[in-house]
Amino acid sequence: MGKPTKTQQIIKKDVNNFMDFLGHKTFWLHIFNPTIAGEYQKGELKSLFSTDRKKIIKEIEKFNGKGIICLATNQRDKGQTKGSDVKNLETITFDLDVRKELKVDYVSTDEHHKHAVSKAEDLKIELEKLGFCVGMKVDSGNGSQVYAKVKLDLKENKDSVVSKLILLENYLRDKFNDDIIELDCITKDINRRMKIPGTINKKDTEQKEDRIARIVYYNNIPLPMQENQNIEAFNSFNIVIDEPKQRTTLNCSTGELNKPLDKIDRSAFEFGKVCSFIKKGMTKQEVFNSMNVYSKWVEKGDSYKEMTYEKALKQIEEAEIEQAEEERLKPLDYRSLIDYKIEPISWLVENILPKGEVCILGGKRGDGKTWIADDIALGLASGTEVFGENVPEKKKVFIIDEEGGDNTQAERIQLLAKGRGIEDEELELMSMSFSGLKLDQPNSKKFLEFTEILKEFKPHLIIIDCLQRIVSIDIDKENAQISAMFTGIVRPLIKKYETGFLFIHHLRKSPTGNNSSSSDPLDEMRGGSETVNYARCVMSISQPRNQKKEEDGSMKLVFKILKMSNAPIIEPKVLIFQPDSPDQKLSTQIKINYLGKIEDVLGAEKQAANAIKEFLMEEQITGEFPTKLIIDNAKKIGFERTWLGKGLKELLDIKFLEKPKRGIYIVSDKKSIVKPKPSLKPKLPYGSPKKTIEEQKKDLVKTEDDINDEIIAESLRKKKLKELEGNPFCPNCKAPMVKNKCIAGCK
């Protein structure tokens, strides 16, 4: 019904059509705050339950362009805002969104946007092949959405409905997910609120342009007919899956994937599936229904199914008994505590990265978190120092990059490896990008494949960029779930595979967009308190305030340890990020080196500037001078060449010097250079006893010798003036000439 346009007016026809399609008696209007430069804002702009459409539309008009304006797709009673309050699934929603990392200034490019809209049409055709009746297709401005009306009971049959939805969604994801878009479905959030067509899609305050969402397809078939057709299609959906040979099988007792299907028979694979469904808490009937998508299960009779189910129950019970024994509470008595052999802390990188722990590296966007993490990875894998600290031995490192992609990751590794001079070495380091892995979904296929990689590669450190991308929950809201993930999933992985985790993490922002002003820097980390409370080591990287870009493209970074359990916290370090070209895009290598402590490094420019200033004063240089003069006197000034350059820059910044051309400086504050006249008042040596008034008066009385010296000096001065009378002045410096020679020494 139209392409996205740039306007602040809502399109009432689209708004009304969307409300007609939902068909609710009571609508829940929920308007979210937009993000600020990608950072989540807590709170909401409006939450309203109403049966009055005019009232709802008035609120939509009021907030259009100010936030994300949504309606709940599933009806619930007034005031009920939880997913558990939803009694019926009334709309199956498929959201085709351009991947976040591909967006430019928080909006999708025109090319990617068109691709998402095209994919929505392909998805509509596929759903219709499966017997569904698509009710609406929306161009959201950045992606697209497809809606199908149903009415499925969640109060009595939620588990079976969700299980079938997962099968449908996984089937469609395999078909439509690609490098540009990913399919997001209703099972992620039964409580889903969707952007209203006909309103501005305002997701971020800094987005490049405001786009209005539009309905591009609207089915006029009566809603009850659509619902009946879709319920029938949903219930009859039963894709028989012949698993590809490269899929791997689940070990029901350990939860791991063991070996490719071409090395085992179909029964073993399906046995593992039955075990996984039982472990999810499914009833027997739900397990049987879910298994109906696998070929051998469908072909075999009831006796095979009963035998497989009973065998799975027995094996899971035995595994749980064994696991319970391992996890049984084992308190230590007093004597055991006294005799306990305390192991010293084991380091991957001394004083920075402990072995076998959960660690966090936090920082603002653009402060170099990923560069720092990649340099740590290379230092650890090559056994070379990291930021001036020793690496005891080479280790295996596994990088999971959910933000940059393989191309960006490879470029960073190549530049840093060349900077370290290790590009020709063979290191045990591997990387994986845009995997879609979610650590809080331990029963997913990707998680099981992840554990298989850990089993085979055995990394000592897993670096994850970033924490929010590797979980399906919102870390700003789900503190309890974050805690459960660390204790119930991450810690067991560390123990089982003898590894450690380094999560790259973002800092939170205040509602004004500035960083938190909290006195505790740990409070600046995004998410609930459990995020930093559970971590044994928390590090941060930041740029010094008011840092200006150097002419050579380098910049300083401040690296701090904010928290370190069971070990002292070292002093903050100043690092220098040094590309070999002022334009980083043209660099062939990048080094990240340790410069020193904050007080030594960040104050050194001023110290060097003061030393240069003192040198100029001693030499009474009040005019123009070359850079070479300062460099040649480096030893006398007391600073190396690098710091002299920074000192000169500092003097330029404070307007003490001017730089008319390259390599030449002029003193602009000449008053500071002229030596002050010595005081007539005699100074006492430090610590000398005070003189009495009589002694001070005596000092002021001139002796006969003093008077004679003054008479001689005055006589010589008059004689000199008489000699100069009538003599010309030097044409160069205007000093007097004596016997045709300049008294200032001009040639």
pLDDT, position 257: 37
Residue of higher predicted confidence among 300 and 579: 579
Give the residue-averaged pLDDT of 133-155.
Answer: 90
Domain ranges of the chain: 12-236, 248-326, 347-511+521-596, 604-672, 692-747
Distance of CA 274 to the CA centre of its chain: 39
Pair of tokens at residue 160: 């079976």
When pLDDT is averaged across residues 196-213 and rounded to a whole number, the result is 89
Tokens of 240: 């028989």
Answer yes or no: is pLDDT of 4 > 60. Answer: no
The predicted structure's pLDDT at residue 374: 96
Across the range 662-667, mean pLDDT stands at 88
DSSP bridge pairs for 539:
361, 561
> What are the residues whose beta carbons fall under 8 Å from the beta carbon of 617, sequence distance 6 or more?
672, 673, 675
Taking the C-alpha atoms of residue 500 and residue 522, their distance in angstroms, rounded to an integer, is 21
**What pLDDT, in 10s, does the model give residues 453-462?**
999 999 999 9
Give the pLDDT band of residue 515 (cuts 50, 70, 90): very low
Asked if residues 67 and 32 have their Cβ atoms less than 8 Å apart, the reply is yes
pLDDT higher than threshold 70 for residue 467: yes
pLDDT tens profile 421-461: 999 999 999 999 988 899 988 878 888 889 989 999 999 99
The whole-angstrom separation of Cα 43 and Cα 206 is 18
Of 614, 599, 586, give the one whose Cα is nearest residue 672: 614
Average pLDDT over residues 349-359: 94
Q: Which residue has the tokens 């296929």?
A: 445
CA atoms within 13 Å, Cβ hemisphere of 285? 4
Q: Are the folds of 12-236 and 604-672 the same?
A: no
pLDDT > 80? residue 261:
no
Indicate if the pLDDT at residue 742 is higher than 70.
no
pLDDT at 254: 38
The top-level CATH class assigned to 12-236 is alpha beta
> Which pLDDT belongs to residue 691?
58
Query: pLDDT (tens digit, 9 = 90+) per residue, 79-107?
Result: 888 877 888 888 989 999 898 888 888 88
Q: Which two tokens stand for residue 138?
A: 């929306």
Q: Which DSSP helix (H) or strand (E) runs through 376?
A: helix 369-382
Strand 737-738 and strand 741-742: the pairing is antiparallel
| pLDDT reported for residue 533 | 86
Higher pLDDT, 259 or 485: 485
Mean pLDDT comparison of 131-135, 389-393, 630-634, 685-689, highest-scoring range: 389-393
Fold annotation for 604-672? Arc Repressor Mutant, subunit A (1.10.10)
Given the candidates 1.10.274.100, 3.40.50.150, 3.40.50.300, 3.40.50.720, the CATH classification of the domain at 347-511+521-596 is: 3.40.50.300
pLDDT in tens, 532-586: 888 999 999 998 866 666 778 888 899 999 999 888 999 999 999 999 998 888 9
The token duo for 714 is: 């005055």
The band of 416, judged by pLDDT with boundaries at 50, 70 and 90, is very high
Nearby residues of 552 by Cβ (< 8 Å), 6 or more positions away: 578, 582
Structure tokens at 147: 């809606």
Question: Do residues 198 and 212 make contact, with C-beta atoms less than 8 angstroms apart?
Answer: yes
- Greater confidence, 148 or 729? 148
Position 708 scores a pLDDT of 63
The CA distance from 455 to 453, in Å, is 5
Enter the tokens of residue 647.
């000192």
State the pLDDT at residue 450. Answer: 92
Residue type for position 409: Q
For the record, the structure tokens of 403 come out as 């933000």
- Burial class of residue 463 (count of CB atoms within 10 Å of its CB; 0-12, 13-18, 19+): buried
For residue 11, give the DSSP letter: -
Please give the average per-residue pLDDT across 362-391, as a whole number.
93
